[in-house]
A and B are shown apart, each in its own frame.
Chain A
Amino acid sequence: MQNDQLTLAPARGPSGPRKGRALPPWVSTTALLMPTYGWLTIAVFLPLLTMFAFSFLSATPMGKAPIIFTLKQYRAFIDQPYLVGIGITSLLIGFWTTLICAVLGFLAAVALVRSTFGKTREMLLILILLPFWTNGLVRVFSWTMVLRENGFLDSLLHMVAPDAGSIGFLYTRYAIVVGLVHGYLPYMILTCYIALVTIDDAIIEAAASLGARWWTILFKILLPLAAPGLISGAVLTFVPVIGSFMEPRILGGRVGVTMGTVIEDQFTQAFNWPLGASLSFTLLAVVLAIFATFSGVLRRGTTA
Chain B
Amino acid sequence: MTNVKVNSVAKTYGTTPVLADITTEFPEGSFTSLLGPSGSGKTTLLRIIAGFIKPDQGVVMIGNNDVTDVPVWGRNIGMMFQSYALFPHMTIAQNVAFGLERRGIKGAEARKEVDRALEMVRLPGFGDRTPKQLSGGQQQRVALARAIVIKPSVLLLDEPLSALDRRLRQEMQVELLRIQRESGLTTIFVTHDQEEALTLSDKVAILDKGRIVQIGEPETVYEKPLTRFAAEFLGDSNFLTGTVENGAVRLADGSVVKSTSALPANGSTVTLAIRPEKMAITSGDTADNSIKARITTVIYAGPVLSYHLETADGVPLKLFAQNRDGTVLKEGDEISLGWSAEHTVAVAD
Contact = CB atoms under 8 A, between A and B. Distances in A.
Interface of A: 200, 202-203, 205-213, 216, 220-221, 224-225, 304
Interface in B202-241: none
A212 B73 contact: yes
Contacts of B52: 205, 208
Contacts of B78: 209
Contacts of B83: 200, 202
A209 B86 CA distance: 12
B103 A209 contact: no
A221 B81 contact: no
A225 B72 contact: no
A202 B146 contact: no
B77 A209 contact: yes
Given A209-B50, A210-B150, A212-B73, A202 B102 contact: no
A202 B73 contact: no
B243 to A, nearest CB: 44
B89 interface: yes
A203 B85 contact: yes
Interface centre among A200, A206, A220, A304 (most CB of B within 10 A): A206
B284 interface: no
Given A203-B87, A221-B87, A210 B98 contact: yes
A202 B98 contact: no
Nearest to B47: A205
A203 B86 CA distance: 6
A216 B78 CA distance: 18
Contacts of B147: 209-210
Contacts of B71: 208
A202 B82 contact: yes
A162 to B, nearest CB: 45
B79 interface: yes
B88 interface: yes
Contacts of B150: 210-211
B76 interface: yes
A223 to B, nearest CB: 10
Nearest to A216: B102
Interface in B143-197: 143, 146-147, 150, 156
Given A205-B72, A221-B87, A304-B89, A212 B81 contact: no
Given A202-B83, A205-B72, A210 B88 contact: no
Contacts of A200: 83, 85
B81 A208 contact: no
Contact of B102 (A205, A211, A225, A304): A211
Contacts of B72: 205, 208-209
B187 to A, nearest CB: 14
B17 to A, nearest CB: 21
Contact of A211 (B76, B81, B84, B86): B76
Contacts of A220: 98
A213 B88 contact: no
Nearest to B50: A209
B99 interface: yes
A205 B79 contact: yes
Nearest to B79: A209
Interface string B95-106: 000110011000
B73 A208 contact: yes
B73 A211 contact: yes
Contacts of B79: 205-206, 209
Given A205-B72, A206-B79, A211 B99 contact: yes
A211 B103 contact: yes
A207 B99 CA distance: 8
Contacts of B82: 202
Given A205-B52, A208-B73, A209-B79, A225 B89 contact: yes
Nearest to B88: A225
A213 B70 CA distance: 12
A221 B101 CA distance: 14
B145 to A, nearest CB: 12
The 4 closest A-B pairs by CB, nearest first: A211-B102, A210-B99, A202-B85, A304-B89
Given A211-B76, A212-B102, A206 B89 contact: no
Contacts of A304: 88-89
Nearest to B83: A202
B93 to A, nearest CB: 14
Contacts of B88: 203, 225, 304
A212 B156 CA distance: 17
Contacts of A221: 87
A117 to B, nearest CB: 13
Contact of B85 (A205, A213, A216, A225): A205
Nearest to B158: A202
A255 to B, nearest CB: 42
Contacts of B99: 210-211
Given A209-B77, A211-B74, A213-B73, 10 more contacts: A202-B85, A203-B86, A203-B87, A206-B85, A207-B98, A208-B73, A209-B78, A211-B103, A221-B87, A224-B89
A205 B81 contact: yes
A63 B180 CA distance: 88
15 contacts: A202-B82, A202-B83, A202-B84, A203-B86, A207-B98, A208-B52, A208-B73, A209-B75, A209-B78, A211-B74, A211-B103, A211-B150, A212-B73, A213-B73, A225-B88
